[in-house]
Chain A
């Protein structure tokens, strides 16, 4: 292993090399092992302060980062949109500079605007970890998806991964596309043409509007939630039609190869993008993703936050 990590920030997978992504995944192996110990805590980031700065609501990502920081012995403060001074008219930059004045070493930022983490990273000495910015990137989610695929299938190169659903508004999809393609997977994006425009082909992914054509050759299907909160107008006639055309129903799941992995970044809408029985079935690795997310975030916090500044 010749690659070394030299970044203070993790902003997206677009700027990472395949070697850097693999290095994070290998580091994750070591931190996943920590979760099996009697005492699930190591002193790697003892004395460091991490701020979970979530301007957009999130429970699972924030909790995952918080637990990851605890397991690395860092001190954690949580700031949400409602408790921050942003509601009092303070700018993002001023809020962040105040956090840095309190000697915060790592800022984990979730923001509704694409580019907010880049904005902070270029202005602060603290490490900035992107926990999702608008419809742009969600790098730790993609890394945990990659880790889960690698863990289950032993490799990523050569696999066919179908990402199904609301691609247009999905930062998870974008980060996954960058990561999967860099590691040599074939990616097909599936959904209605309003949510999966052909422009995505420019990133190197394939686009399909017919789910039944894609499922039989997929090694992994990653289902995305319809993000009603990001849609200002209706992109499809109704949920009933969406389920009929793109939902991973019990019947449709029979088209899948027996060893095809079923993934979902959560929160799942049972009966919409995925049937309950499929989500809880043997091919589902949805809960593995949650467990692996913790280990991936430990690795990322260790790599970005552990270097001398």
Chain B
């Protein structure tokens, strides 16, 4: 099935195949960098980070025959912009295995931008315990960090302007009901007149 095309300004930067390859490579890198793979927890940031984490876990299972744990780390209640937004971020229930001591927690998100979400995720993880290590895996690193944060695993480095948007969309996967990553779009807002949306779009389109 071909993903539906959005307005003409959308530039696809990764198709399903490219995302597949990038996540598979990240899975290899995680295996390589973590000899004690059983201690790894992939903690996805809702909602696309959770999907990406489960995709990486599936690759690791396929490559290394190791089942690694996945979790959900909600950042909404740990954000640093409370009281400054007109609309509150929706909170999700977090889920992490405890105890976290002696574990490596890999935070997984779709797009890394300012780094503030990752900082909030690290704070959230600390309220569950004190992991041995915390790492960061992202599908796209678009630059413009506002905090000293650096990803350990990167699907694609993508230099951007702040006025541009990166969108990662999910698609339902056949009858299993699972979602797979359909495509990653690069939206050049400079070329169109649509209003400047959230800096990192939160839209999920279910394309199937």
Contacts and interface: CB of A to CB of B under 8 A. Distances in A.
Contact of A33 (B83, B90, B93, B123): B93
A102 interface: no
Interface of A: 1, 4-5, 27, 29-34, 37-48, 72, 299, 302-303, 306-309
- SS class of chain A's interface: helix, strand, loop or mixed? loop
B91 to A, nearest CB: 4
Nearest to A43: B78
Nearest to B86: A308
Given A30-B76, A39-B126, 7 more contacts: A30-B92, A30-B94, A44-B78, A47-B83, A302-B91, A307-B83, A308-B84
Nearest to A306: B88
A272 to B, nearest CB: 38
A33 B127 CA distance: 11
Contacts, number: 74
Contact of A38 (B85, B92, B128): B128
A48 B83 CA distance: 9
30 contacts: A1-B90, A4-B88, A5-B88, A27-B91, A29-B93, A30-B74, A30-B92, A31-B77, A34-B127, A37-B94, A37-B128, A38-B127, A38-B129, A39-B126, A39-B127, A40-B127, A41-B127, A42-B78, A42-B124, A44-B76, A44-B77, A44-B78, A48-B82, A302-B77, A302-B88, A302-B91, A306-B88, A308-B84, A308-B86, A309-B83
A13 to B, nearest CB: 20
A307 B95 contact: no
A307 B85 contact: yes
A177 to B, nearest CB: 28
B175 interface: no
Nearest to B100: A38
Contacts of B127: 34, 37-42
A72 B127 CA distance: 13
- SS class of chain B's interface: helix, strand, loop or mixed? loop
Interface string B121-151: 0011011110000000000000000000000
Interface residues of B, number: 26
B98 interface: yes
B191 interface: no
A306 B128 CA distance: 23
A183 to B, nearest CB: 20
Contacts of B123: 43
Contacts of A299: 91
B87 interface: yes
A243 B89 CA distance: 49
The 9 closest A-B pairs by CB, nearest first: A30-B91, A39-B127, A44-B77, A33-B93, A42-B77, A30-B93, A29-B93, A37-B127, A306-B88
Nearest to B95: A33
A43 B87 contact: no
A289 to B, nearest CB: 19
Contacts of B78: 42-44
A36 B51 CA distance: 24
B191 to A, nearest CB: 29
Contacts of A5: 88
Contacts of B74: 30
Contacts of A45: 82
A37 B95 CA distance: 10
B83 A306 contact: yes
Contacts of B95: 33
Nearest to B90: A1
Which of A34, A40, A45, A72 is most buried by chain B, counting CB atoms within 10 A of its CB?
A: A34
A31 B74 CA distance: 11
Which of B76, B86, B88, B128 is most buried by chain A, counting CB atoms within 10 A of its CB?
A: B88
A41 B85 CA distance: 21
